[in-house]
């Protein structure tokens, strides 16, 4: 479709991440199939499309992604000044699922493969997204300062986060034969591991550990943030380590990290 080619070009010119480019193109492709006359802006058809997604049970974040993709097309590809009255879907109020420190250790203890264990340990110890842990290169590890550089993270931003001292010896041994430009965790065929591979490693370990929580790979990042706050780390520092643009995003972890609440005894 010609519209998708133009849209892809505009997204890349504006330096959107490859992941966002793929997501926007997929979302707009779905809209174009829903409305073959998409070339001319019709807000009612956009509403109908988004309502159909809502009725199909899609999460609010996914619906907003579709809306953003459609807006991008009309504003930046068609260059139309549309009078949008559509509002974003309300985001889920669900609290992040957090694993205790003991549960993290249980996860690591059931992983026999050294590389797999380091992936899980570093993702937790540095608070990384799955895409970020797989993009780490050997040169991003700063053992002297105890820092890990996250290059081109979410929002195409670089940042520094913690490099856990407890992992130093294992990491130094692991990278012994690697070049500085190599990915830290490469696939067997070379190159970057897929996100699905990392998620599968977590899922298998979770099953073996016997932990009953419906945790995901991203729960490692949630746990990192929550444990830092529980240990008294300033919220602004946690925001910087996670790479959040807004402090409000970081503040949700205070709802699941209240030592004071745990000291209160039930009257039962």
Query: Mind giving me the DSSP string for 191-245?
Result: SBPPHHHHHHHHHHHHHHHT--S---THHHHHHHHHHHHHTT--HHHHHHHHT-S
CA distance 244 to 171: 27
89, part of any domain: no
Residue 66 among the catalytic residues: no
pLDDT on residue 82: 77
Could you tell me the CATH number of the domain that includes residue 69? 1.10.150.130
pLDDT on residue 250: 87
204, part of any domain: yes
Same domain? 117 vs 13: no
CA distance 225 to 203: 21
CA distance 20 to 26: 10
Given the residues 159, 221, 222, 227, select the one marked as catalytic.
Answer: 221
CA distance 251 to 173: 37
Per-residue pLDDT of the chain (268 residues; tens, 9 = 90+): 778 898 999 999 888 888 889 999 999 999 999 988 888 888 888 889 988 888 888 888 888 899 999 999 998 988 888 777 777 766 666 788 999 999 999 999 999 999 999 999 999 999 999 999 999 999 999 999 999 999 987 777 899 999 999 999 999 999 998 999 999 999 888 788 989 999 999 999 999 999 999 999 999 999 999 999 999 899 999 999 999 888 888 888 887 776 656 666 667 7
pTM of the model: 0.74
Same domain? 15 vs 110: no
Closest to 245 in 3D by CA, of 125, 154, 161 = 154
Same domain? 139 vs 67: no
Sheet hosting strand 159-162, strand order edge to edge: 141-142, 147-150, 159-162
Given the residues 129, 159, 222, 227, select the one marked as catalytic.
Answer: 129
Strand 159-162 and strand 141-142: the pairing is unpaired
Same domain? 153 vs 221: yes
| Residue numbers of the domain that contains 62 | 2-77
Residue 222 among the catalytic residues: no
Given the residues 16, 74, 124, 253, select the one marked as catalytic.
Answer: 253
Given the residues 154, 178, 192, 208, select the one marked as catalytic.
Answer: 154
Same domain? 139 vs 223: yes
The number of distinct structural domains making up the chain is 2
Residue 221 among the catalytic residues: yes
88, part of any domain: no
Q: Provide the percentage of residues in the chain whose pLDDT is more than 70.
A: 94
Same domain? 69 vs 159: no
pLDDT on residue 92: 62
Same domain? 131 vs 250: yes
CA angle, 184 then 186 then 188, to 5°: 150
Given the residues 6, 75, 218, 252, select the one marked as catalytic.
Answer: 218
Question: Which of 77, 93, 128 is where one domain is finished?
Answer: 77
Could you tell me the end-to-end alpha-carbon distance of the chain, in angstroms, rounded to an integer? 64
22, part of any domain: yes
Condensed to tens digits (0 to 9), the pLDDT of residues 45-64 reads 888 998 888 888 888 888 88
Residue 53 among the catalytic residues: no
Same domain? 161 vs 37: no
For the chain, how long is the longest CA-to-CA vector? Answer: 66
Query: From residue 254, how far is each of 9, 100, 230 by CA, in Å?
Result: 41, 15, 8
159, part of any domain: yes
157, part of any domain: yes
125, part of any domain: yes
Given the residues 29, 149, 244, 252, select the one marked as catalytic.
Answer: 244
Query: What 3-state DSSP class applies to 260?
Result: helix
pLDDT on residue 108: 97
Same domain? 121 vs 7: no
Could you tell me the CATH number of the domain that includes residue 151? 1.10.443.10
CA distance 121 to 114: 10
Residue 154 among the catalytic residues: yes
Question: Which of 61, 77, 93 is where one domain is finished?
Answer: 77
Same domain? 223 vs 116: yes
265, part of any domain: no
Residue 73 among the catalytic residues: no
Same domain? 44 vs 176: no
Same domain? 21 vs 143: no
């Amino acid at each position: 479709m010609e519209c998708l080619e133009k849209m892809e070009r505009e997204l890349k010119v504006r330096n959107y991440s490859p992941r966002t480019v793929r997501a926007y193109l997929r979302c707009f492709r779905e809209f174009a199939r829903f409305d073959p006359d998409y070339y001319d802006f019709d807000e009612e058809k956009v509403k109908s499309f988004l309502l159909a997604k809502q009725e199909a049970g899609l999460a609010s974040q996914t619906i907003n992604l579709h809306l953003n993709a459609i807006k991008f097309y009309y504003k930046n590809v068609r260059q139309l000044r549309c009078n949008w009255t559509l509002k974003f879907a309300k985001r889920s109020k669900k609290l992040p699922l957090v694993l205790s420190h003991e549960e993290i250790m249980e996860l690591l203890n059931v992983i026999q493969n050294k590389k797999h264990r380091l992936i899980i340990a570093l993702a937790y110890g540095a608070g990384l997204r799955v895409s970020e842990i797989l993009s780490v290169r050997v040169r991003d590890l700063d053992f002297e300062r105890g820092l890990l550089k996250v290059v081109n993270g979410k929002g195409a931003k670089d940042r520094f986060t913690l490099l856990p001292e407890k992992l130093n010896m294992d990491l130094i041994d692991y990278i012994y034969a690697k070049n500085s430009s190599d990915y830290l965790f490469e696939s067997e065929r070379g190159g970057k591991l897929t996100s699905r591979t990392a998620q599968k490693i977590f899922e298998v370990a979770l099953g073996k550990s016997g932990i009953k929580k419906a945790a995901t790979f991203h729960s490692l990042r949630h746990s990192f943030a929550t444990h830092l706050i529980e240990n008294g780390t300033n919220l602004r520092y946690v925001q910087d380590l996670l790479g959040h643009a807004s402090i409000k995003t970081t503040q949700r972890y205070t709802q699941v990290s209240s030592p004071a609440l745990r000291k209160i005894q039930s009257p039962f």
